[in-house]
A and B are shown apart, each in its own frame.
Chain A
């Protein structure tokens, strides 16, 4: 079967779904964050696939930027997690209840 755009998009979607599940279901902060990265990766894949099948390179440039931004975001996020851990002594997401009513 010819590998077309749909197949790549399906893969991308499945990866995204997995990341989403991880974010919503896991309790460990780090795992949640990693699932978040997985979602970003899925988006990258979709963009590259589009770029390939539409005969443009713009998609790849965007992916370039996304990777950069993702790296920056990871750095900042991890710094936040470190600060939180210092506060609460736990990396469990249910212990973060300051915003509770």
Chain B
């Protein structure tokens, strides 16, 4: 349905802003409603008799045969199992909220219809990824999502930085997708099928299981912005804030994690280790960089990176449930944070530097409260939803009782502390204290069409941990009867984590307190950032994102430019100069030579005549 919306908007209503927005919003909300209806009609795990989901040749899966070459059968199908249904809920739900929000955010932008068309396209692609039932289909939609994100990031294409950011996002994504494609090919080679239902364990993959798994992971690395392909995410903040919310908080980056959960079976322990370490490292790196950023959206962007690192790390530690759980809650509170930030930005007329804000608590109360809720959820303090999910991850890490788990647990805790630190740095600087600039004093609250979704998301961020989301995921991934059921009483669920793994939750809470304390101490009344003096060079490095971009530029970009220049030289000199030139010169020379035959000299003609006759006779008499 969103595809239809995108099509209609692009073709017909490009000039009518209001209608376009309504079409787009209507489409996605309809999708949301349909999903809910479907779930309530069929339950989370549709019965086997119905023929969806897990059967060998499920009726609901193969819609049509798309490509049939020898040995390669690709069907187009829809997979509707609990995992995809959950994702659909997230996409349509959070996406719907963001759509409504955008109506307010983009109210005075001339390209609003185009924006909504691209939003609908993006939603369509995202839903496609979630509903795909084989690798190729997923890859197609994967790329579509990349394209839509390129369009959306570069939405304000008059700004050169936006265009560059869009290109960067797409190219970095493509790098990851290249690895992804190689992985898909390897899987097909060894397993003979590309359907998700046909995936088997790593034993079937033979000696290359690790590599295949890692290659597929490359796709997730690119899409979910793990190290070393993380450089596109912060620059993607060039797009409008709703875009950042939708793409980077809730959906696109989560697609990587979703994919990992889907193909989890093919990852063998060495691959999983790599996954976990990369995830952990990303989380740490992003958090450290975020401490010193000054643009409100970039801080949130780096926090996204960090949380994604958490999710990936969790998958690597064999904990799919916590990963997906955290994905869900992260969708809520990150979207909330982004949208609140957007509200702030709009209120201050597109100002994004936090050191120019301040004292907004009085001016924008709703935004203040929603942002507070989001920040608390992000910092994973009880009883907010983030607490439950992050705690699950940490608890899972600890429960493994091996070196890897413990190391990553420690990293996780440290990053939690940093997370609290930077988010509350942001909070204090922006909302408390006195106004730091002119625009801050003129701020005003945002219209209801923007604050409405904020409030809805805030509610979910608050209670997300408690509504049994974890239960659903548990049932997907650990279908043994001894698994976690929905608890009998609300209270036991509320305090559940403390009971299950007291060390993890205790340390998590401690980290929160430490972070909050530091942030308060440093920033509550600060006028400018005190950290650079204290930390000196490290702070500068953090601010400059550890010079990752510069390193990439110096190596990859330069190498690529060099190769391009060589190719250009070859094309110009060898192909054009040599080959074409020789043909041209040859034709020219031949023409000149033949010109001398037309001498007009009688005797030359006679001579040539004789020669001709002689040759003819020679041939005849042979």
Interface residues of A (CB under 8 A from B): 20, 23-25, 32, 93-94, 96-101
Q: List 8 A-B contacts (CB under 8 A).
A: A24-B603, A24-B606, A93-B601, A93-B602, A93-B603, A99-B600, A100-B599, A101-B595
Taking a contact as CB atoms under 8 Å apart, the answer to whether B601 and A23 are in contact is: no
Judged by a CB distance under 8 angstroms, whether B610 is at the interface is yes
Taking a contact as CB atoms under 8 Å apart, the answer to whether A20 and B599 are in contact is: no
Report the nearest B residue to A96, measured CB to CB.
B602
Q: How far does the Cβ of A100 sit from chain B's closest Cβ, in whole Å?
A: 3
Kindly state the separation between the CA atoms of A50 and B49 in the bound complex, as whole angstroms. 108
Judged by a CB distance under 8 angstroms, whether B556 is at the interface is no
Name 6 extra pairs, CB < 8 A, besides A24-B610, A32-B603. A23-B606, A24-B603, A93-B603, A97-B601, A100-B600, A101-B599
Kindly state the separation between the CA atoms of A24 and B610 in the bound complex, as whole angstroms. 10
Within 8 A of A (CB), among B563-616: 595, 598-603, 606-607, 610
Taking a contact as CB atoms under 8 Å apart, the answer to whether A100 and B598 are in contact is: yes
Kindly state the separation between the CA atoms of A25 and B603 in the bound complex, as whole angstroms. 8
Counting from the closest, the 5 A-B pairs by CB-CB distance are A100-B600, A99-B600, A101-B598, A97-B600, A93-B602
- Kindly list chain A residues whose C-beta atoms are within 8 Å of the C-beta of B603: 23-25, 32, 93
Kindly state the separation between the CA atoms of A45 and B600 in the bound complex, as whole angstroms. 33
Within 8 A of A (CB), among B499-524: none
Interface string of B214-258 (1 = CB under 8 A from A): 000000000000000000000000000000000000000000000
Kindly state the separation between the CA atoms of A97 and B598 in the bound complex, as whole angstroms. 10
Report the nearest A residue to B609, measured CB to CB.
A23
Q: How far does the Cβ of B529 sit from chain A's closest Cβ, in whole Å?
A: 84
Taking a contact as CB atoms under 8 Å apart, the answer to whether B610 and A20 are in contact is: yes
- Kindly list chain A residues whose C-beta atoms are within 8 Å of the C-beta of B598: 99-101
- Kindly list chain A residues whose C-beta atoms are within 8 Å of the C-beta of B600: 96-101
Q: How far does the Cβ of A31 sit from chain B's closest Cβ, in whole Å?
A: 12
Kindly state the separation between the CA atoms of A93 and B607 in the bound complex, as whole angstroms. 14
Interface of B is mostly: helix
Kindly state the separation between the CA atoms of A43 and B85 in the bound complex, as whole angstroms. 104
Kindly state the separation between the CA atoms of A75 and B606 in the bound complex, as whole angstroms. 20
- The total of interchain contacts (Cβ-Cβ below 8 angstroms) comes to 30
Kindly state the separation between the CA atoms of A98 and B601 in the bound complex, as whole angstroms. 9
Q: How far does the Cβ of B77 sit from chain A's closest Cβ, in whole Å?
A: 73
Taking a contact as CB atoms under 8 Å apart, the answer to whether A24 and B599 are in contact is: no
Kindly state the separation between the CA atoms of A63 and B601 in the bound complex, as whole angstroms. 31
Kindly state the separation between the CA atoms of A98 and B605 in the bound complex, as whole angstroms. 14
- Kindly list chain A residues whose C-beta atoms are within 8 Å of the C-beta of B610: 20, 24
Report the nearest B residue to A99, measured CB to CB.
B600
Kindly state the separation between the CA atoms of A25 and B601 in the bound complex, as whole angstroms. 12
- Kindly list chain A residues whose C-beta atoms are within 8 Å of the C-beta of B602: 32, 93, 96
Q: How far does the Cβ of B554 sit from chain A's closest Cβ, in whole Å?
A: 61
Kindly state the separation between the CA atoms of A93 and B598 in the bound complex, as whole angstroms. 15
Kindly state the separation between the CA atoms of A32 and B607 in the bound complex, as whole angstroms. 13
- Kindly list chain B residues whose C-beta atoms are within 8 Å of the C-beta of A23: 603, 606
Q: How far does the Cβ of B53 sit from chain A's closest Cβ, in whole Å?
A: 85
- Kindly list chain B residues whose C-beta atoms are within 8 Å of the C-beta of A25: 603
- Kindly list chain B residues whose C-beta atoms are within 8 Å of the C-beta of A20: 610
Report the nearest B residue to A98, measured CB to CB.
B600
Kindly state the separation between the CA atoms of A101 and B606 in the bound complex, as whole angstroms. 17
Q: How far does the Cβ of A48 sit from chain B's closest Cβ, in whole Å?
A: 21
Report the nearest B residue to A29, measured CB to CB.
B602
Kindly state the separation between the CA atoms of A94 and B602 in the bound complex, as whole angstroms. 8
Q: How far does the Cβ of B612 sit from chain A's closest Cβ, in whole Å?
A: 13
Kindly state the separation between the CA atoms of A34 and B598 in the bound complex, as whole angstroms. 25
- Kindly list chain A residues whose C-beta atoms are within 8 Å of the C-beta of B607: 24
Q: How far does the Cβ of B597 sit from chain A's closest Cβ, in whole Å?
A: 9
Interface string of B103-114 (1 = CB under 8 A from A): 000000000000
Report the nearest A residue to B597, measured CB to CB.
A101
Report the nearest A residue to B594, measured CB to CB.
A101
Report the nearest B residue to A100, measured CB to CB.
B600
Report the nearest A residue to B604, measured CB to CB.
A24
- Kindly list chain B residues whose C-beta atoms are within 8 Å of the C-beta of A100: 598-601
Interface string of B183-198 (1 = CB under 8 A from A): 0000000000000000
Report the nearest A residue to B599, measured CB to CB.
A100
- Kindly list chain B residues whose C-beta atoms are within 8 Å of the C-beta of A24: 603, 606-607, 610
Kindly state the separation between the CA atoms of A100 and B610 in the bound complex, as whole angstroms. 20
Kindly state the separation between the CA atoms of A39 and B599 in the bound complex, as whole angstroms. 24
- Kindly list chain B residues whose C-beta atoms are within 8 Å of the C-beta of A97: 600-601
Report the nearest B residue to A26, measured CB to CB.
B603
Q: How far does the Cβ of A81 sit from chain B's closest Cβ, in whole Å?
A: 11
- Kindly list chain A residues whose C-beta atoms are within 8 Å of the C-beta of B601: 93-94, 97, 100
Report the nearest B residue to A94, measured CB to CB.
B601
Kindly state the separation between the CA atoms of A79 and B606 in the bound complex, as whole angstroms. 20
Kindly state the separation between the CA atoms of A25 and B607 in the bound complex, as whole angstroms. 10
Report the nearest B residue to A23, measured CB to CB.
B606
